Amino acid sequence: MPTAPIAAATLIVAYAVAVSTGSRPAGGVVLAVGGLWCIWAWQRRHGRRTATILGCVGFGAFVLSHVLALAIGAWPSVLAVAAVVAAVTWTRADSRRPDITPEIGPEIATDGAG
């Protein structure tokens, strides 16, 4: 499953929740859940370095959206940084094969017993 759309949607949905509920903490919960899931997926597929880099990109985009909103408005700002996050995530993670081979579970004995 690609993480780029999830990372971008996390920023958009988190802002939508904050605006629609009037609760910034509710938007923060959405941002945290989506962000942590992406970091988990990146770490599992590509290692700690990629997860850290992309996590910092997401956090930086969150901060930048607040600054950019002063110039172009909140929604355009959120959509712009979400697009950047999607593009960076796609190029740094989703378009590449996983760097880490998933662990294979224990093999089932096939000696005919049981």
Q: How do residues 89-110 score in pLDDT, each as one tens digit?
A: 999 999 988 776 555 444 544 5
Q: Can you tell me the distance from the alpha carbon of 76 to that of 83, in angstroms, rounded to the nearest whole number? A: 11
**26 pLDDT above the threshold of 60:** yes
Return phi, psi of residue 106, to 5°. Answer: -60, 140
Helix 4-21 / helix 24-46 crossing angle, nearest 10 deg: 170
Both structure tokens of 13:
């949905």
Average pLDDT (63-67) is 98
pLDDT, residue 105, reads 47
pLDDT, residue 48, reads 97
**113 pLDDT above the threshold of 60:** no
**83 pLDDT above the threshold of 50:** yes
The pTM of the full predicted model, rounded to 2 decimals, is 0.84
